[in-house]
Structure 1
Amino acid sequence: TDFPEESGWSAVVQQQDGDSVCVSLCSPPTACVGRYSLTLETSTGYQGSSYHIGDFVLLFNAWHPEDTVFLRDEDERREYVLSQQGLIYQGARDYITSTPWNFGQFEDEILSICLKLLDTNPKFLRDQNRDCSRRNDPVYIGRVVSAMVNCNDEDQGVLAGRWDNRYEDGMSPMSWIGSVDILKR
């Protein structure tokens, strides 16, 4: 199409040069988070062809004013979306400490690991269509990820919670300095 639709998916030809075409793809702010397959379909007369171009991952968009996770302030986007290092806070109400943390959201394999977490959660295994159709809701995604980080409930999660301070078969939570090593285990 020549005019992107604000409410749905659209593709706009940006440039055409000989056998090459540059196309911009636009997704709606309500699109579901996940991996998508991109296929080009062409036709000349009665004959058509289909070409798999590749896959891409669609995430929430803190830059789009209509996206639920929109952040108006550029400094907030830098801190909450783009910054790979920061602080996490832990403790009790009267004693809170900060710990430097490597979030590592752009590290190799992390995006694939996070998508795999979504695709192995019990709600997905019970009803894939329902689970995937709810992945446009950041609250839903947050709840699924939060549940999957805790593996005490036999859902193939990431970490086992321990409150007895005995970590012979694992690692003390005070030893961790980032999310990457945790997610890659």
Structure 2
Amino acid sequence: MLRKERTGLVVIDVQGKLATIVHDSELFIANLVKLINAAKLLGLPILWLEQNPEKLGTTVPALREVLDLVKPIPKYSFSACGEPAFVDAVKKSKVNTWLLCGIEAHICVYQTALDLLDSGYMVELVSDCVSSRSLDNKTLALEKLTRKGADVTSLEMCLFELIGDCRADEFKAALSLIK
């Protein structure tokens, strides 16, 4: 069960033209905005990554706007764990569970998830907040990662797990994000 005290969010490479051509991109980006806003509401640590931003471009404006207080970490390896600044940020966060979202599910999300699992962290892929250019590649990534120890959740599922109680201070505000 997810607990907000020990959970963080990793936003991976939602940049440039690629973000607009992944499977169901408009819904995917809308869900990411909701997830990021929920993470901010709950006070989760948020790590934001950009793959080779000089070549691929920056994060899409809708996400940059909600990630306003977070600084992006540039990376060049497909796994974020190949970037020392990311590894340091993960360690400093003091959480043991990471929600992963972003693109592409079968490349950067997949490799980052594997490396986080290998480092002893728990990983949950937010299924409606990851995408690839083809649905087949997204499906394959989620299937392989679950066999390797990652869990799969959804935006609503993880949000209600993190809140845990309808009397929680964040409940009404979080509910308004997903309605």
- Please say whether Structure 1 and Structure 2 have the same fold, judged by a TM-score greater than 0.5: no
State the structure with more CA Rg: 1
- Give 1 or 2: higher strand fraction: 1
Q: TM-score range by the shorter chain?
A: under 0.3
Kindly indicate whether structure 1 or structure 2 has the higher relative contact order, using CA contacts under 8 Å at least 6 residues apart: 2
- Give 1 or 2: higher helix fraction: 2
TM-score by length of 2: 0.20
TM-score by length of 1: 0.20
